[in-house]
Structure 1
Amino acid sequence: MKNLTVFTASATRPNLMVNSADRIEPTAGWSISAENPEEIIRGFSQLTIKKEYKLRGYQYFSGGNGNGIVWAIPVSEELPHPDFCDRLDEMFLSPPKPEVALDDFMAAIDGDRSPLSYLQAAIALHELHEFGAMWHGCSWGQDRILPFTDDCKEEMLSEIDDIDAGFRIEDYLNFIHPWDELKEIPDILNPHFYYQNGKPTVVFYTINDIGYYKLCRYTHTFEKESYIQKVEREEIGAGDGGIIF
């Protein structure tokens, strides 16, 4: 790993205050969202939206369930009504795509190219993909990035009186959930950044309890000089429990 940077858990959270409008229940089916997805980017200090673009979104709503999709469009344009858009039939719910939209909204995102900016861009990607999600439409919203706090050992001491001096990542993983299977133990549990073959790379681990408990590794590989990224999600642990909603 070249130029490794290891982050605290708190580094994955938005670090700027953004005043968000109250959510208004949308109409059924696809509609232009009343919410502004740019608020997600504004919450991260190292990211900006390129001046020639803006982010806007469509909302799908049915029976209390919601999904959405975000597009980057020229700043001089507005989203057309969904009925006047092409539909992406290969995607769930066949979302609308305007002719003027970029294929990847991350092409409209800029930043200072610091390790923290890439971590923030990785988190922002998931948040933007979950834009408009409600009830059964939620998935990423149940992911909890590990470790839960900035001090794993202190977190364990709050419930266990005697912890050996030789603290191990495996101990922490088994402390937070009794896994049926752990395919591997991470060498670095905290979110971290490095260069792989010259490409910025961000890795973090999460627990998601939808259906059953899953321990997952997310690897974000960025294009050089861009925040466009490919994401690989690997399930490396599973356990009983979980929620169904």
Structure 2
Amino acid sequence: MSIQTFPLATVKKIRQYIKNMLVVPDSENYPKGWVSFEEVDDLPEPESLDQLGDLFKFSSPLDAQMPAPNTAGSWFISTVNPGSVFSKLPGLKLKSGWRLVSYLYRQQDNGVGITWAVPEDLSTTAELENALADSSDEITPPHPTGALPDFMEALEGDRSPRSFMIASLLRRELEEFGRLGKHCRWSNHWLINEILAQVKWQWKTSAPKDLSTKVQVLPDGKVAVEFFTLQVTKPVVICRHLERYPASGYNAKYVDRPVAIPVRKT
């Protein structure tokens, strides 16, 4: 049995890289729409191919039946390729023949998203659009044909301690992808490696002596990852995150649990 500890700066750097690769464009976060042909005439003449492409990011009366980005509460396919995140992630990659795809749901300034791992031959736009027919509100997302129950099942790697630390962060960033406004969850968590001394905390159990990110490899090949975060939105809490990986694969059983709250001043 071995335990490897990772410096906070390293974990933060990897998380930031993942976040930078999973950015929803403004055209999908805050979609705009044309309501008349007069508005089309008022648009500035594009000066480059990039600007010309931007014109087609708007939903117009001509494509009102298409699953274009919208704030009307209808799911649509994101143009972002979540799989691009693997280009520089050491020790972790998508299995051959699989692709990650995401759907987004927007209502005014709030939104959610969902990411699936689907076979490449079922990842065409036509196939992905078919799943939109069975979606409705934010809790009934599209479910494309052939999608794995857990997108982490489509991952493989060198099973190094570092790869499991990265997988733990990646899962949370992919689950957070597309969340906007009041639906944000993981975005409100800061990675920490020590107890904030300027705050008095009430612990559910005894306070841990070490809050650093740790990966434990067991003799049977199973792996456990532990790290801590501070949730900076109300209710402010310190959370313990624990993942248990099987002897093969990267689809873990995980628990995110509050372990301490600030003591209120009297």
Identify whether the pair has TM-score above 0.5, normalized to the shorter chain. yes
CA distance in structure 2 between the aligned counterparts of 1:103 and 1:19, rounded to whole angstroms: 21
As a proportion of its length, which structure holds more strand?
A: 1
CA distance in structure 2 between the aligned counterparts of 1:33 and 1:220, rounded to whole angstroms: 29
As a proportion of its length, which structure holds more helix?
A: 2
Unaligned runs of 5+ in 1: 148-171
- Return 207-216 or 172-181, whichever deviates more: 172-181
Residues 88 and 177 of structure 1, relative CA distance in 2, 3 Å threshold: farther
Given residue 197 of structure 2, which amino acid in structure 1 is its aligned partner? F
Q: Return the match for 1:173 from 195, 209, 212.
A: 195
Q: Return the match for 2:241 from 207, 211, 218.
A: 218
CA distance in structure 1 between the aligned counterparts of 2:198 and 2:188, rounded to whole angstroms: 15
Aligned-residue offset at 1:40: 3.5
Q: Return the match for 1:138 from 157, 177, 184.
A: 184
Query: Do the aligned partners of 1:212 and 1:240 also contact (CA within 8 Å) in 2?
Result: no
Q: Return the match for 1:58 from 103, 108, 125.
A: 103
Residues 18 and 142 of structure 1, relative CA distance in 2, 3 Å threshold: closer
CA distance in structure 2 between the aligned counterparts of 1:111 and 1:142, rounded to whole angstroms: 29
TM-score (norm 1): 0.78
Q: Return the match for 1:185 from 207, 212, 215.
A: 207
| TM-superposition CA deviations, 1:36-65 (whole Å, max 9, x none) | 222334452221111110100100111111
CA distance in structure 1 between the aligned counterparts of 2:106 and 2:8, rounded to whole angstroms: 33
CA distance in structure 2 between the aligned counterparts of 1:177 and 1:97, rounded to whole angstroms: 44
Query: Do the aligned partners of 1:31 and 1:82 also contact (CA within 8 Å) in 2?
Result: no
Residues 71 and 180 of structure 1, relative CA distance in 2, 3 Å threshold: same
Residues 39 and 10 of structure 1, relative CA distance in 2, 3 Å threshold: farther
Residues 125 and 20 of structure 1, relative CA distance in 2, 3 Å threshold: closer
Larger Rg: 2
Given residue 27 of structure 1, which amino acid in structure 2 is its aligned partner? N
Instruction: Name the SS of the counterpart of 2:152 in structure 1.
Output: helix
Aligned CA-pair RMSD: 2.6
CA distance in structure 2 between the aligned counterparts of 1:48 and 1:58, rounded to whole angstroms: 21
The aligned residue for residue 49 of structure 1 is 94
Instruction: Name the SS of the counterpart of 2:182 in structure 1.
Output: helix
Query: Do the aligned partners of 2:131 and 2:145 also contact (CA within 8 Å) in 1?
Result: no
Unaligned runs of 5+ in 2: 29-68
Instruction: Name the SS of the counterpart of 2:256 in structure 1.
Output: strand
Residues 195 and 45 of structure 1, relative CA distance in 2, 3 Å threshold: closer
| TM-superposition CA deviations, 1:168-224 (whole Å, max 9, x none) | xxxx51425332446321132110010357311100011002212110110010111
TM-score (norm 2): 0.72
Residues 221 and 88 of structure 1, relative CA distance in 2, 3 Å threshold: farther
Instruction: Name the SS of the counterpart of 2:79 in structure 1.
Output: coil
The aligned residue for residue 70 of structure 2 is 27
